[in-house]
Amino acid sequence: MGIWYPFGIALFQAGNSRFLWVAGRQGRFAAGGGEKGGEGGGKVGEKERKGKGLLGWLRGMEYGQRMFLVVTLGMAVQVSSI
């Protein structure tokens, strides 16, 4: 239980954060923002979105990929600290 319980919590948190992101997108769409209009509804240009280095690479990733990476890194840190 010492290692499986935190893994379950990490995966649960990743799932909840994904649902929160989807709910925010749906709320913006329902408010009339859609994909292109409204506050923050449009896509940011590639040059504005991506910077240089690791931080730019992380900002350029999609939300789901970023969350998967963070959860995976957290699990790896926990396993390596045993």
What amino acid occupies position 57?
Answer: W
Residue 48 is predicted with a pLDDT of 54
Residue type, 56: G
Residue scoring higher pLDDT (74 or 43): 74
Specify the residue for token string 């999609």: 62
Q: What is the pLDDT of residues 20-63, one digit of tens each?
A: 888 888 888 888 765 554 444 445 455 555 668 888 888 888 88
Q: Which residue has the higher pLDDT, 80 or 34?
A: 80
DSSP, collapsed to helix, strand or coil, labels residue 63 as helix
pLDDT at res. 38: 47
